[in-house]
Chain A
Amino acid sequence: MIVLVVGTIAQRELGLYVAQNRYFSSFYFWVGSVPFPGGYPMMGLIFVGVVARLLAPAVWVRQKLGVNVVHLGAALMLAGGFFTATFSFEGNMVIGEGESADYISDYHATELAFIDTRAADRDQVTAFARGWLQPGEKIAHAAVPFHIEILKYFRNSTARPRSALPPEDARGFAKNFELTEAPVEVEDERNRAGILFRVSQADPGVNGIYTLLERMPVPQTLKAEGGDFIVELRRLRTPLPFRLELTKFAKKLHPGTEIPEAFRSDIILHDGELRQPVRVQMNEPLRYKGYTFYQASFIENGSQNTTVLAVVHNIGRVFPYLSGIVMCIGLLIHLVMQLPRLFRNEGATR
C-alpha cells in the first residue's frame, strides 16, 4: 500500500516514466533515509504467498474449491506480470508515405550505435545499450575497429556553440559545439541524451573526442579500416524480421472541426516473398509474428504525411485474459457451491 501511494503521488512531480521505474519497476526505493521494497519484491512476495497457499493440502477442501481457483487466477496474473516485465518491449515506428521501416524505436532506452558501411550490400550495426554509457566505461568490441571511452553522458542535454577554441583533439561536431547538461524533463520524450566520448586505437586524425546528441540532423562519421562508421546516439532500436511500407495515410475530421475523428494507415507488409496489404486504424491493430501495431499518431507535413505506430511485443499478453477467465470460473464455482446454504438460510428465516 505504501508503494502504491508513494509511487502514485510521485508521478505528478517526476512524470510517469521516472515514477514507474523508481517505485514500481524496482527492487527498492528510499523515503528519506529509509529503504522500502519496490514493486518487484512486493509482487514476488504476493506470488509466493498465493502459490504457498495453493500448495497446502489443507486448503483443498470442497467448500474452498472456488476460492482456490480464484487464487490460481491471481497467480496466473502475477506470473504474466513477471513475463511482461522481463521479456516485453514496446516502442514506435515512424513511417512517411512512400517509405518503409523495419525497426522499432524504444520510447525511453537509449543506445550508442556504430554502423559499419563498408560492405556493398548491407550495413552492420553494433549497438551498446544504456548500461555501457557510464562515464569511465571502456568499450572494445571485435566489430568496431577502435576503442571507445565514455567521458560524459547526460539524460538531457543541449549543444552550445563554443565561445573559446576547442581542445586540440576535438573532432567533428565537438570542434564547434560543447555539450552541456540540461534539467531532466518530466515528459521523457522531451529529453535529448548527449554523450562525450574518446576514440583511440584508430588513425591519428580520427582519434580524439567526439560529441553526440540524440536526434542530430546529420550523424557523425568515423573513418576506420578503409571505410566509414556512422555513429549515432539514439533511442534503442529493435530490428524486425519484416518491413512495413506506408502507401497512404488518411485522416477524417469531426465535421466542422480540426479534431481528428479517425485516422488510418494503408500499409504493405513485406516479409520475404510476402507482399500483404493491410490497414491499421484506431481499434484495428495489425498483429503479426508476436508484434502488435497500433495506430497511435501522425505527423502532417504538407505533401507527405507520416504515420506513428505504437508497437508492442509481449509474450505475457495472454495471461491477463487467462487469469480473468480462471478467476471468473472460480467465482462461479464458489457461488454455485454457496447456493444450497443460501436457500437453506432463506427457508429457515421463513
Chain B
Amino acid sequence: MLLLCACSSRDREVRTYSIAKVQPAPQLAAKAFSQTSSGAVRWTSPAGWKELPGDSIRLAIFEVPGKEGGAKAEASITVLGGEAGGLEANVNRWRQQAGLEPASADEIKRSGKGGKAKFGDFQQFQIDGAEGMPSILAAVFSRPGKTLFVKLTSKQKILETQKASFTALCRSVRDSDEN
C-alpha cells in the first residue's frame, strides 16, 4: 500500500525550484545543436539579408530583401533529427507548397544540383511555383543522425535575384570550430 502511494505521488509530482539564469534563445540554438549532434553550426549571412532570432526548430530566420519598398521574402536554416522523412518526401512537400504535382524519385534526383560546404555536401533544388503560388529554393545537408535544411520561399522574381546569395549562404555553413 505504501509503495502504491509512493508510486502514485511521484507520477503526479510538481517540482518548483530556482536555477542559474538560462541562456537566451539565439545562443541556445547553436549550443543546443552542439548537445544533440557533433557540433554547433555557423554560417555567413549574405549581404542585405537581415538575420532574425531563431525559433523552436529554426536555427536562423532571414528577412530577404525584394525590390526597394516591395515585398520581402523569408529564408531559414532548420535542423531535424534523422533523415527528416527523406529527400523525396521533403522535395515533394515543397512542390505541394508551390502548387505542383509530386515528382518521382528519379526526377527529383535529376533536378538537384550538388554543392559543397565545410559542413558537408548538399543538394540544392529550385522549385518554380505555379501561378499565384510561391517559389522555393531549398538545400539539404545530410549528416549521421540529422538533416539540415536551408530554404528560401518567395515570389519568382525575388528568387531569381537572390539565387546567388542563397547558394553563398549554403556554401558558408560550417561547424562552429571551423573558421
Number of interface residues of B (CB under 8 A): 45
Contact call B33/A217, Cβ cutoff below 8 A: yes
Contact call A219/B56, Cβ cutoff below 8 A: yes
With both chains docked as a complex, state the minimum distance between the C-beta of A314 and any C-beta of chain B, in angstroms.
Answer: 14
Q: Which residues of A contact B177 (CB under 8 A)?
A: 302-304
**How distant is the Cα of A122 from the Cα of B17 in the complex, in angstroms?**
10
Given contacts A216-B57, A217-B79, whether A163 and B96 have CB atoms under 8 Å apart is yes
A85 contacts chain B at the CB level, 8 A cutoff: yes
**How distant is the Cα of A111 from the Cα of B13 in the complex, in angstroms?**
10
A141 contacts chain B at the CB level, 8 A cutoff: yes
B32 contacts chain A at the CB level, 8 A cutoff: yes
Q: A-facing mask of B136-179, CB < 8 A → 1, else 0?
A: 00000000000000000000000000000000000000010100
The A/B interface has a contact count, at CB < 8 Å, of: 124
With both chains docked as a complex, state the minimum distance between the C-beta of B17 and any C-beta of chain A, in angstroms.
Answer: 5
Q: Which residues of B contact A160 (CB under 8 A)?
A: 85
Selecting from A49-57, A126-134, A271-279, A334-342, the interface stretch reads A126-134
Q: A-facing mask of B2-16, CB < 8 A → 1, else 0?
A: 111010101111111
Give the nearest-CB partner of B76 in chain A: A176
A297 contacts chain B at the CB level, 8 A cutoff: no
Our pick among B15, B21, B38 for the contact of A122 (Cβ within 8 Å) is B21
**How distant is the Cα of A105 from the Cα of B177 in the complex, in angstroms?**
27
A159 contacts chain B at the CB level, 8 A cutoff: yes
A124 contacts chain B at the CB level, 8 A cutoff: yes
**How distant is the Cα of A86 from the Cα of B29 in the complex, in angstroms?**
37
B55 contacts chain A at the CB level, 8 A cutoff: yes
Contact call B17/A94, Cβ cutoff below 8 A: no
Q: Which residues of B contact A127 (CB under 8 A)?
A: 14-16
Q: Which residues of B contact A102 (CB under 8 A)?
A: 19-20
A261 contacts chain B at the CB level, 8 A cutoff: no
A107 contacts chain B at the CB level, 8 A cutoff: no
Contact call B16/A163, Cβ cutoff below 8 A: no
**How distant is the Cα of A303 from the Cα of B175 in the complex, in angstroms?**
11
Q: Which residues of B contact A218 (CB under 8 A)?
A: 25, 28-29, 32, 54-59
**How distant is the Cα of A200 from the Cα of B86 in the complex, in angstroms?**
36
**How distant is the Cα of A221 from the Cα of B22 in the complex, in angstroms?**
12
A15 contacts chain B at the CB level, 8 A cutoff: no
Q: Which residues of A contact B32 (CB under 8 A)?
A: 216-219
Contact call A125/B55, Cβ cutoff below 8 A: no
Given contacts A125-B15, A130-B11, A141-B14, whether A117 and B22 have CB atoms under 8 Å apart is yes
**How distant is the Cα of A121 from the Cα of B33 in the complex, in angstroms?**
26
B52 contacts chain A at the CB level, 8 A cutoff: no
Contact call A123/B20, Cβ cutoff below 8 A: yes
A263 contacts chain B at the CB level, 8 A cutoff: no
Pick from A27, A117, A173, A301 the residue with the most CB of B within 10 Å. Answer: A301
Given contacts A127-B15, A172-B56, whether A159 and B97 have CB atoms under 8 Å apart is no
B93 contacts chain A at the CB level, 8 A cutoff: yes
B44 contacts chain A at the CB level, 8 A cutoff: no
Contact call A132/B12, Cβ cutoff below 8 A: yes
A220 contacts chain B at the CB level, 8 A cutoff: yes
A184 contacts chain B at the CB level, 8 A cutoff: no
Q: Which residues of A contact B36 (CB under 8 A)?
A: 215, 217
With both chains docked as a complex, state the minimum distance between the C-beta of B178 and any C-beta of chain A, in angstroms.
Answer: 9
Other than A172-B55, A304-B34, give 15 A-B pairs with Cβ distance below 8 A: A94-B35, A122-B19, A123-B20, A125-B19, A126-B14, A126-B16, A129-B10, A129-B12, A131-B11, A161-B90, A173-B56, A217-B57, A218-B58, A219-B28, A230-B25
Tell me the B residues contacting A by CB distance below 8 Å: 2-4, 6, 8, 10-22, 25, 28-29, 32-36, 38-39, 54-59, 79-82, 85, 90, 93, 96-97, 175, 177
- Listed A/B pairs (27) with beta-carbon separation below 8 Å: A40-B4, A82-B2, A86-B2, A94-B35, A96-B34, A103-B19, A111-B15, A122-B18, A123-B19, A125-B15, A125-B18, A127-B15, A132-B12, A158-B82, A173-B55, A173-B56, A173-B57, A176-B57, A218-B28, A218-B32, A218-B54, A218-B57, A218-B58, A219-B25, A230-B22, A301-B34, A303-B177
